[in-house]
Structure 1
Protein backbone atom coordinates (compact mmCIF):
# COMPACT_ATOMS: atom_id res chain seq x y z
CA UNK A 1 0.00 0.00 0.00
CA UNK A 2 1.34 3.43 -0.90
CA UNK A 3 2.06 5.91 1.84
CA UNK A 4 0.18 9.24 1.79
CA UNK A 5 3.45 10.93 2.71
CA UNK A 6 5.80 12.43 0.15
CA UNK A 7 9.07 10.54 -0.15
CA UNK A 8 11.05 13.40 1.45
CA UNK A 9 8.67 13.32 4.42
CA UNK A 10 9.24 9.58 4.84
CA UNK A 11 13.00 9.96 4.70
CA UNK A 12 12.79 12.77 7.27
CA UNK A 13 10.69 10.80 9.77
CA UNK A 14 11.95 7.25 9.31
CA UNK A 15 15.50 8.27 8.49
CA UNK A 16 15.73 10.32 11.68
CA UNK A 17 14.13 7.52 13.71
CA UNK A 18 16.67 5.04 12.31
CA UNK A 19 19.61 7.39 12.82
CA UNK A 20 18.59 7.91 16.47
CA UNK A 21 18.24 4.20 17.14
CA UNK A 22 14.45 3.95 17.41
CA UNK A 23 14.00 1.59 14.44
CA UNK A 24 16.16 -0.86 12.51
CA UNK A 25 17.18 -0.63 8.86
CA UNK A 26 14.48 -3.04 7.66
CA UNK A 27 11.77 -0.81 9.12
CA UNK A 28 13.29 2.19 7.38
CA UNK A 29 13.34 0.37 4.05
CA UNK A 30 9.75 -0.85 4.50
CA UNK A 31 8.61 2.77 4.90
CA UNK A 32 10.53 3.95 1.84
CA UNK A 33 9.59 1.16 -0.55
CA UNK A 34 5.80 1.44 -0.38
CA UNK A 35 5.68 3.04 -3.84
CA UNK A 36 9.06 2.12 -5.34
CA UNK A 37 11.45 -0.77 -5.79
CA UNK A 38 14.72 1.02 -5.06
CA UNK A 39 16.42 4.27 -4.10
CA UNK A 40 19.85 5.29 -5.31
CA UNK A 41 21.93 8.33 -4.41
CA UNK A 42 24.51 10.10 -6.54
CA UNK A 43 26.86 12.94 -5.75
CA UNK A 44 28.20 11.93 -2.33
CA UNK A 45 31.52 10.77 -3.73
CA UNK A 46 33.21 9.90 -7.02
CA UNK A 47 32.04 6.28 -7.08
CA UNK A 48 28.77 6.90 -8.90
CA UNK A 49 25.54 5.93 -7.20
CA UNK A 50 24.88 3.96 -4.03
CA UNK A 51 21.80 2.63 -2.21
CA UNK A 52 19.97 5.20 -0.10
CA UNK A 53 20.58 3.29 3.14
CA UNK A 54 24.31 3.29 2.45
CA UNK A 55 24.17 7.01 1.71
CA UNK A 56 22.28 7.76 4.93
CA UNK A 57 24.87 5.77 6.89
CA UNK A 58 27.62 7.76 5.17
CA UNK A 59 25.88 11.00 6.16
CA UNK A 60 25.65 9.76 9.74
CA UNK A 61 29.42 9.26 9.73
CA UNK A 62 29.76 12.85 8.48
CA UNK A 63 27.90 14.18 11.48
CA UNK A 64 24.23 14.06 10.51
CA UNK A 65 21.98 14.21 13.57
CA UNK A 66 18.68 13.95 11.70
CA UNK A 67 16.98 14.45 8.38
CA UNK A 68 14.58 17.30 7.65
CA UNK A 69 12.22 17.84 4.74
CA UNK A 70 11.59 20.92 2.61
CA UNK A 71 8.49 21.60 0.51
CA UNK A 72 9.25 24.83 -1.35
CA UNK A 73 7.21 26.61 -3.98
CA UNK A 74 7.98 29.47 -6.32
CA UNK A 75 8.32 32.62 -4.24
CA UNK A 76 8.32 30.69 -0.95
CA UNK A 77 11.44 28.51 -0.53
CA UNK A 78 10.37 27.28 2.91
CA UNK A 79 12.71 24.68 4.33
CA UNK A 80 15.65 25.68 2.12
CA UNK A 81 18.77 27.55 3.16
CA UNK A 82 20.71 27.58 -0.09
CA UNK A 83 22.93 27.61 -1.99
CA UNK A 84 21.16 28.59 -5.19
CA UNK A 85 21.87 25.34 -7.04
CA UNK A 86 20.28 23.23 -4.31
CA UNK A 87 17.31 25.58 -3.99
CA UNK A 88 16.72 25.54 -7.74
CA UNK A 89 16.70 21.74 -7.93
CA UNK A 90 14.45 21.43 -4.88
CA UNK A 91 12.02 23.99 -6.26
CA UNK A 92 11.91 22.10 -9.54
CA UNK A 93 10.54 18.96 -7.87
CA UNK A 94 8.83 20.63 -4.90
CA UNK A 95 10.64 18.75 -2.16
CA UNK A 96 14.04 17.84 -0.73
CA UNK A 97 15.77 16.37 2.31
CA UNK A 98 18.49 18.07 4.36
CA UNK A 99 20.98 16.05 6.40
CA UNK A 100 21.10 18.11 9.58
CA UNK A 101 24.66 18.77 10.70
CA UNK A 102 26.26 17.30 7.57
CA UNK A 103 25.77 20.20 5.15
CA UNK A 104 24.25 17.96 2.48
CA UNK A 105 20.89 18.11 0.73
CA UNK A 106 19.18 15.36 -1.27
CA UNK A 107 16.73 16.01 -4.10
CA UNK A 108 14.57 13.09 -5.30
CA UNK A 109 13.37 12.36 -8.80
CA UNK A 110 11.08 9.46 -9.61
CA UNK A 111 12.35 7.49 -12.59
CA UNK A 112 9.90 4.68 -13.18
CA UNK A 113 9.79 2.56 -10.01
CA UNK A 114 13.06 4.03 -8.73
CA UNK A 115 13.85 7.20 -6.83
CA UNK A 116 17.10 8.78 -7.91
CA UNK A 117 18.48 11.19 -5.30
CA UNK A 118 21.10 13.80 -6.07
CA UNK A 119 23.31 14.93 -3.20
CA UNK A 120 24.77 18.41 -3.09
CA UNK A 121 25.85 21.05 -0.63
CA UNK A 122 23.11 22.55 1.53
CA UNK A 123 23.43 25.50 3.90
CA UNK A 124 21.80 25.73 7.34
CA UNK A 125 18.18 26.81 7.08
CA UNK A 126 15.74 28.96 8.98
CA UNK A 127 12.56 27.09 9.82
CA UNK A 128 9.06 27.88 11.01
CA UNK A 129 8.47 26.97 14.64
CA UNK A 130 6.08 24.08 15.28
CA UNK A 131 3.87 26.13 17.60
CA UNK A 132 3.86 29.13 15.28
CA UNK A 133 3.04 26.93 12.28
CA UNK A 134 0.26 25.21 14.22
CA UNK A 135 -1.37 28.48 15.23
CA UNK A 136 -0.91 29.97 11.77
CA UNK A 137 -2.50 26.98 10.07
CA UNK A 138 -5.49 26.94 12.40
CA UNK A 139 -6.13 30.64 11.86
CA UNK A 140 -5.65 30.43 8.09
CA UNK A 141 -8.04 27.48 7.75
CA UNK A 142 -10.79 29.51 9.42
CA UNK A 143 -10.06 32.60 7.34
CA UNK A 144 -9.98 30.60 4.11
CA UNK A 145 -13.22 28.83 5.02
CA UNK A 146 -14.93 32.19 5.47
CA UNK A 147 -13.51 33.52 2.21
CA UNK A 148 -14.52 30.42 0.28
CA UNK A 149 -18.01 30.47 1.77
CA UNK A 150 -18.37 34.06 0.59
CA UNK A 151 -17.35 32.86 -2.88
CA UNK A 152 -20.07 30.16 -2.73
CA UNK A 153 -17.67 27.22 -2.67
CA UNK A 154 -20.60 24.84 -2.12
CA UNK A 155 -21.85 25.65 -5.62
CA UNK A 156 -18.64 25.26 -7.61
CA UNK A 157 -16.84 22.71 -5.43
CA UNK A 158 -19.27 20.90 -3.07
CA UNK A 159 -16.52 18.42 -2.12
CA UNK A 160 -14.43 21.28 -0.74
CA UNK A 161 -17.39 22.60 1.24
CA UNK A 162 -17.89 19.13 2.71
CA UNK A 163 -14.25 18.93 3.80
CA UNK A 164 -14.38 22.38 5.36
CA UNK A 165 -17.41 21.28 7.37
CA UNK A 166 -15.60 18.16 8.52
CA UNK A 167 -12.18 19.47 9.53
CA UNK A 168 -12.05 17.32 12.65
CA UNK A 169 -11.95 14.17 10.54
CA UNK A 170 -8.21 13.75 10.08
CA UNK A 171 -6.34 11.04 8.21
CA UNK A 172 -3.44 10.73 10.64
CA UNK A 173 -0.31 9.35 8.95
CA UNK A 174 1.71 6.49 10.39
CA UNK A 175 4.82 7.72 12.17
CA UNK A 176 7.86 5.92 13.56
CA UNK A 177 8.97 6.08 17.20
CA UNK A 178 10.64 9.34 18.18
CA UNK A 179 8.36 11.69 16.23
CA UNK A 180 6.51 13.99 18.66
CA UNK A 181 2.75 13.42 18.65
CA UNK A 182 2.22 17.14 18.12
CA UNK A 183 4.15 16.91 14.85
CA UNK A 184 2.12 13.92 13.70
CA UNK A 185 -1.07 15.88 14.32
CA UNK A 186 0.35 18.96 12.59
CA UNK A 187 1.34 16.88 9.56
CA UNK A 188 -2.20 15.47 9.35
CA UNK A 189 -3.79 18.92 9.41
CA UNK A 190 -1.25 20.31 6.94
CA UNK A 191 -1.98 17.51 4.48
CA UNK A 192 -5.71 18.07 4.99
CA UNK A 193 -5.31 21.77 4.15
CA UNK A 194 -3.20 21.05 1.07
CA UNK A 195 -5.70 18.43 -0.02
CA UNK A 196 -8.46 21.05 0.13
CA UNK A 197 -6.34 23.39 -1.99
CA UNK A 198 -5.62 20.68 -4.57
CA UNK A 199 -9.28 19.72 -4.77
CA UNK A 200 -10.45 23.31 -5.09
CA UNK A 201 -7.93 24.03 -7.84
CA UNK A 202 -8.62 20.83 -9.79
CA UNK A 203 -10.55 22.97 -12.27
CA UNK A 204 -12.09 26.41 -12.38
CA UNK A 205 -15.63 25.25 -11.73
CA UNK A 206 -16.92 25.59 -15.27
CA UNK A 207 -17.45 28.85 -17.10
CA UNK A 208 -16.59 31.61 -14.65
CA UNK A 209 -15.05 35.02 -15.11
CA UNK A 210 -11.38 35.76 -14.76
CA UNK A 211 -12.20 37.87 -11.72
CA UNK A 212 -13.94 34.92 -10.03
CA UNK A 213 -11.03 32.61 -10.80
CA UNK A 214 -8.59 35.15 -9.34
CA UNK A 215 -10.74 35.54 -6.22
CA UNK A 216 -10.83 31.79 -5.66
CA UNK A 217 -7.11 31.42 -6.09
CA UNK A 218 -6.54 34.40 -3.83
CA UNK A 219 -8.62 32.77 -1.10
CA UNK A 220 -6.64 29.53 -1.42
CA UNK A 221 -3.11 30.97 -1.64
CA UNK A 222 -2.75 31.67 2.13
CA UNK A 223 -4.03 28.19 2.95
CA UNK A 224 -1.53 26.57 0.59
CA UNK A 225 1.33 28.59 2.07
CA UNK A 226 0.30 27.86 5.67
CA UNK A 227 -0.08 24.17 4.84
CA UNK A 228 3.39 23.88 3.36
CA UNK A 229 4.99 25.77 6.25
CA UNK A 230 3.24 23.48 8.73
CA UNK A 231 4.37 20.45 6.75
CA UNK A 232 8.00 21.60 6.84
CA UNK A 233 7.85 22.17 10.60
CA UNK A 234 6.30 18.75 11.18
CA UNK A 235 9.08 17.03 9.23
CA UNK A 236 12.06 19.07 10.50
CA UNK A 237 13.69 17.61 13.63
CA UNK A 238 15.58 20.86 14.23
CA UNK A 239 12.38 22.47 15.53
CA UNK A 240 10.62 19.50 17.11
CA UNK A 241 9.43 19.92 20.69
CA UNK A 242 10.49 17.24 23.19
CA UNK A 243 8.51 14.08 22.52
Structure 2
Protein backbone atom coordinates (compact mmCIF):
# COMPACT_ATOMS: atom_id res chain seq x y z
CA UNK A 1 0.00 0.00 0.00
CA UNK A 2 1.21 3.52 -0.84
CA UNK A 3 0.94 5.58 2.30
CA UNK A 4 -0.65 8.96 2.86
CA UNK A 5 2.08 10.81 4.77
CA UNK A 6 1.29 10.45 8.51
CA UNK A 7 2.77 13.83 9.55
CA UNK A 8 -0.56 15.43 8.60
CA UNK A 9 -2.91 12.46 8.61
CA UNK A 10 -6.08 12.88 6.57
CA UNK A 11 -7.64 10.42 9.05
CA UNK A 12 -7.28 13.07 11.76
CA UNK A 13 -9.04 15.62 9.56
CA UNK A 14 -11.89 13.21 8.87
CA UNK A 15 -12.29 12.43 12.57
CA UNK A 16 -12.19 16.08 13.65
CA UNK A 17 -14.65 17.42 11.09
CA UNK A 18 -16.78 14.28 11.07
CA UNK A 19 -17.30 14.55 14.82
CA UNK A 20 -17.97 18.30 14.54
CA UNK A 21 -20.63 17.49 11.94
CA UNK A 22 -22.20 14.78 14.12
CA UNK A 23 -22.26 17.16 17.10
CA UNK A 24 -23.95 19.91 15.08
CA UNK A 25 -20.97 22.29 15.01
CA UNK A 26 -20.48 21.99 11.24
CA UNK A 27 -22.53 21.01 8.23
CA UNK A 28 -21.80 18.01 6.06
CA UNK A 29 -20.79 20.19 3.12
CA UNK A 30 -18.38 22.19 5.29
CA UNK A 31 -16.82 19.03 6.71
CA UNK A 32 -16.28 17.43 3.30
CA UNK A 33 -15.04 20.71 1.82
CA UNK A 34 -12.37 20.83 4.55
CA UNK A 35 -11.29 17.29 3.71
CA UNK A 36 -11.14 17.97 -0.01
CA UNK A 37 -9.22 21.19 0.57
CA UNK A 38 -6.67 19.18 2.57
CA UNK A 39 -6.22 16.25 0.19
CA UNK A 40 -8.36 16.54 -2.93
CA UNK A 41 -11.41 14.51 -4.05
CA UNK A 42 -12.22 11.52 -1.86
CA UNK A 43 -14.06 8.26 -2.41
CA UNK A 44 -14.87 5.28 -0.22
CA UNK A 45 -14.49 1.82 -1.71
CA UNK A 46 -15.49 -1.63 -0.53
CA UNK A 47 -15.50 -5.01 -2.20
CA UNK A 48 -18.73 -4.21 -4.03
CA UNK A 49 -18.99 -0.45 -4.50
CA UNK A 50 -17.27 2.94 -4.65
CA UNK A 51 -19.03 6.15 -3.64
CA UNK A 52 -18.01 9.77 -3.03
CA UNK A 53 -17.17 10.50 0.61
CA UNK A 54 -20.00 13.02 0.88
CA UNK A 55 -22.62 10.43 -0.05
CA UNK A 56 -20.96 7.80 2.16
CA UNK A 57 -21.17 10.05 5.23
CA UNK A 58 -24.77 11.01 4.49
CA UNK A 59 -25.68 7.32 4.32
CA UNK A 60 -23.92 6.73 7.66
CA UNK A 61 -25.97 9.50 9.27
CA UNK A 62 -29.15 7.77 8.13
CA UNK A 63 -27.84 4.55 9.68
CA UNK A 64 -27.25 6.23 13.04
CA UNK A 65 -23.49 6.84 13.18
CA UNK A 66 -22.53 8.12 16.64
CA UNK A 67 -18.77 8.75 16.56
CA UNK A 68 -15.56 8.66 14.58
CA UNK A 69 -12.36 7.57 16.33
CA UNK A 70 -8.77 8.14 15.27
CA UNK A 71 -6.05 5.49 15.13
CA UNK A 72 -2.37 6.31 14.56
CA UNK A 73 -0.67 2.91 14.84
CA UNK A 74 2.95 2.01 14.26
CA UNK A 75 4.74 -1.33 14.06
CA UNK A 76 4.45 -2.96 17.49
CA UNK A 77 2.05 -0.25 18.71
CA UNK A 78 -1.50 -0.68 17.31
CA UNK A 79 -2.70 2.57 18.87
CA UNK A 80 -6.47 2.90 18.66
CA UNK A 81 -7.04 -0.53 17.09
CA UNK A 82 -8.73 -3.65 18.44
CA UNK A 83 -9.03 -5.72 15.23
CA UNK A 84 -9.90 -7.73 13.32
CA UNK A 85 -6.51 -8.57 11.78
CA UNK A 86 -7.24 -7.36 8.21
CA UNK A 87 -8.19 -3.90 9.45
CA UNK A 88 -5.31 -3.78 11.94
CA UNK A 89 -2.73 -4.78 9.33
CA UNK A 90 -4.02 -2.29 6.77
CA UNK A 91 -4.08 0.51 9.36
CA UNK A 92 -0.54 -0.23 10.60
CA UNK A 93 0.69 -0.29 7.01
CA UNK A 94 -0.93 3.10 6.35
CA UNK A 95 0.05 4.53 9.74
CA UNK A 96 -3.49 5.82 10.31
CA UNK A 97 -7.15 4.83 10.20
CA UNK A 98 -10.65 5.83 11.28
CA UNK A 99 -13.14 3.69 13.17
CA UNK A 100 -16.80 4.59 12.63
CA UNK A 101 -19.18 3.62 15.43
CA UNK A 102 -22.62 2.52 14.23
CA UNK A 103 -25.53 0.78 15.96
CA UNK A 104 -24.46 -2.82 16.45
CA UNK A 105 -21.30 -2.66 14.37
CA UNK A 106 -18.18 -0.66 13.57
CA UNK A 107 -16.57 0.15 10.26
CA UNK A 108 -12.92 0.85 9.57
CA UNK A 109 -11.59 3.28 6.96
CA UNK A 110 -7.97 3.23 5.78
CA UNK A 111 -6.73 5.97 3.39
CA UNK A 112 -4.39 5.69 0.43
CA UNK A 113 -3.47 8.11 -2.37
CA UNK A 114 -5.87 7.96 -5.32
CA UNK A 115 -4.22 9.01 -8.57
CA UNK A 116 -5.95 8.62 -11.91
CA UNK A 117 -4.01 9.94 -14.84
CA UNK A 118 -1.87 13.06 -14.66
CA UNK A 119 -4.39 15.54 -13.28
CA UNK A 120 -6.44 13.67 -10.66
CA UNK A 121 -5.04 13.37 -7.15
CA UNK A 122 -7.18 12.51 -4.16
CA UNK A 123 -7.76 9.93 -1.43
CA UNK A 124 -9.35 6.51 -1.63
CA UNK A 125 -10.72 5.18 1.67
CA UNK A 126 -10.92 1.38 1.91
CA UNK A 127 -13.87 0.34 4.06
CA UNK A 128 -13.74 -2.89 6.05
CA UNK A 129 -15.24 -4.39 9.22
CA UNK A 130 -13.76 -3.14 12.51
CA UNK A 131 -14.02 -4.48 16.04
CA UNK A 132 -16.24 -2.40 18.32
CA UNK A 133 -14.26 -3.17 21.47
CA UNK A 134 -13.18 0.21 22.93
CA UNK A 135 -9.44 0.68 22.30
CA UNK A 136 -6.92 1.23 25.08
CA UNK A 137 -6.07 4.87 24.42
CA UNK A 138 -5.21 7.59 26.93
CA UNK A 139 -7.58 10.31 28.04
CA UNK A 140 -6.68 13.89 27.20
CA UNK A 141 -5.24 14.81 30.61
CA UNK A 142 -3.09 11.66 30.76
CA UNK A 143 -1.86 12.17 27.19
CA UNK A 144 -0.96 15.81 27.82
CA UNK A 145 1.07 14.89 30.90
CA UNK A 146 2.89 12.10 29.03
CA UNK A 147 3.60 14.42 26.10
CA UNK A 148 5.10 17.07 28.36
CA UNK A 149 7.28 14.48 30.09
CA UNK A 150 8.46 12.99 26.78
CA UNK A 151 9.20 16.44 25.37
CA UNK A 152 11.39 17.33 28.34
CA UNK A 153 13.21 14.00 28.18
CA UNK A 154 13.75 14.33 24.43
CA UNK A 155 15.05 17.88 24.79
CA UNK A 156 17.58 16.74 27.37
CA UNK A 157 18.66 13.69 25.34
CA UNK A 158 18.96 15.62 22.10
CA UNK A 159 20.97 18.41 23.69
CA UNK A 160 23.46 15.83 24.99
CA UNK A 161 23.61 14.13 21.58
CA UNK A 162 23.93 17.30 19.51
CA UNK A 163 26.33 17.01 16.63
CA UNK A 164 27.64 19.42 14.00
CA UNK A 165 25.24 21.41 11.89
CA UNK A 166 22.06 23.35 12.60
CA UNK A 167 20.42 23.21 16.01
CA UNK A 168 16.92 22.01 16.69
CA UNK A 169 14.09 23.43 14.58
CA UNK A 170 11.99 26.12 16.22
CA UNK A 171 8.45 25.23 17.31
CA UNK A 172 6.53 27.42 14.88
CA UNK A 173 2.83 28.15 15.08
CA UNK A 174 0.90 25.35 13.37
CA UNK A 175 -2.78 24.66 12.68
CA UNK A 176 -3.99 22.25 15.36
CA UNK A 177 -6.18 20.38 12.86
CA UNK A 178 -9.25 20.28 15.08
CA UNK A 179 -12.75 21.52 14.26
CA UNK A 180 -15.44 23.50 16.12
CA UNK A 181 -16.88 21.83 19.20
CA UNK A 182 -13.65 20.51 20.68
CA UNK A 183 -12.65 21.63 24.20
CA UNK A 184 -9.93 24.26 24.60
CA UNK A 185 -7.54 21.74 26.14
CA UNK A 186 -7.85 19.50 23.09
CA UNK A 187 -6.95 22.44 20.82
CA UNK A 188 -3.90 23.18 22.99
CA UNK A 189 -2.68 19.58 22.96
CA UNK A 190 -3.35 19.17 19.23
CA UNK A 191 -1.42 22.34 18.42
CA UNK A 192 1.57 21.09 20.42
CA UNK A 193 1.48 17.68 18.72
CA UNK A 194 1.44 19.38 15.31
CA UNK A 195 4.52 21.44 16.17
CA UNK A 196 6.36 18.45 17.62
CA UNK A 197 5.47 16.35 14.58
CA UNK A 198 7.26 18.95 12.48
CA UNK A 199 10.34 18.62 14.70
CA UNK A 200 10.25 14.84 14.32
CA UNK A 201 9.95 15.15 10.57
CA UNK A 202 12.90 17.52 10.29
CA UNK A 203 15.19 15.71 12.73
CA UNK A 204 18.24 14.13 11.10
CA UNK A 205 21.39 12.29 12.10
CA UNK A 206 24.05 14.09 10.07
CA UNK A 207 27.40 14.43 11.75
CA UNK A 208 26.65 12.23 14.76
CA UNK A 209 28.65 9.36 16.17
CA UNK A 210 27.01 5.94 16.45
CA UNK A 211 26.47 6.53 20.18
CA UNK A 212 24.85 9.91 19.54
CA UNK A 213 22.62 8.37 16.88
CA UNK A 214 21.46 5.73 19.36
CA UNK A 215 20.61 8.34 22.00
CA UNK A 216 18.83 10.58 19.52
CA UNK A 217 16.97 7.67 17.92
CA UNK A 218 15.54 6.46 21.22
CA UNK A 219 14.58 10.00 22.25
CA UNK A 220 12.76 10.56 18.97
CA UNK A 221 10.98 7.20 19.17
CA UNK A 222 9.75 7.99 22.67
CA UNK A 223 8.61 11.44 21.56
CA UNK A 224 6.89 10.01 18.48
CA UNK A 225 4.94 7.58 20.67
CA UNK A 226 3.84 10.40 22.98
CA UNK A 227 2.89 12.64 20.04
CA UNK A 228 0.75 9.92 18.46
CA UNK A 229 -1.02 9.22 21.74
CA UNK A 230 -1.66 12.89 22.42
CA UNK A 231 -2.96 13.46 18.90
CA UNK A 232 -5.37 10.52 19.22
CA UNK A 233 -6.51 11.77 22.63
CA UNK A 234 -7.08 15.30 21.32
CA UNK A 235 -9.11 14.12 18.33
CA UNK A 236 -11.19 11.76 20.48
CA UNK A 237 -11.68 14.36 23.24
CA UNK A 238 -15.03 15.50 21.89
CA UNK A 239 -16.36 12.10 23.06
CA UNK A 240 -14.98 12.69 26.57
CA UNK A 241 -16.80 16.02 26.73
CA UNK A 242 -20.04 14.55 25.43
CA UNK A 243 -19.91 11.57 27.81
CA UNK A 244 -19.18 13.83 30.78
CA UNK A 245 -22.17 16.05 29.94
CA UNK A 246 -24.40 12.98 29.64
CA UNK A 247 -23.61 11.76 33.16
CA UNK A 248 -26.18 12.64 35.85
TM superposition score category, shorter chain reference: 0.7 to 0.9
Find 1:30's aligned residue among 28, 33, 58: 33
Which residue number in structure 2 is paired with residue 9 of structure 1? 12
2:229 aligned with 1:229: yes
Deviation at 1:18, TM superposition (A): 1.2
Tell me the distance in 2 between the aligned counterparts of 1:174 and 1:13.
7
Over 3 Å counting, the alpha-carbon distance change for 1:192 and 1:36 in structure 2 is closer
After TM superposition, the runs of 4+ consecutive aligned structure 1 residues lying more than 4 A away are none
Tell me the distance in 2 between the aligned counterparts of 1:193 and 1:32.
22
Cα RMSD after superposing both structures: 2.2
Please, which moves more after superposition, 96-105 or 172-181? 172-181
Which residue number in structure 2 is paired with residue 117 of structure 1? 125
Tell me the distance in 2 between the aligned counterparts of 1:237 and 1:211.
39
Unmatched runs of 5 consecutive residues or more in structure 2: 1-6, 116-120
Contact 1:233–1:240 at 8 Å: present in 2 too? no
Deviations 1:79-111 (A, max 9, x none): 111111101101111111111244101001012
Please, which moves more after superposition, 8-17 or 95-104? 95-104
Deviation at 1:36, TM superposition (A): 3.5
Which residue number in structure 1 is paired with residue 138 of structure 2? 128
Deviation at 1:15, TM superposition (A): 0.8
Find 1:184's aligned residue among 183, 187, 206: 187
Q: What's the TM-score once normalised by structure 2's chain length? A: 0.84
Deviation at 1:37, TM superposition (A): 3.4
Deviation at 1:171, TM superposition (A): 2.1
Q: How many residues align?
A: 228
Tell me the distance in 2 between the aligned counterparts of 1:76 and 1:174.
23
Which residue number in structure 1 is paired with residue 4 of structure 2? none
Deviation at 1:63, TM superposition (A): 3.2
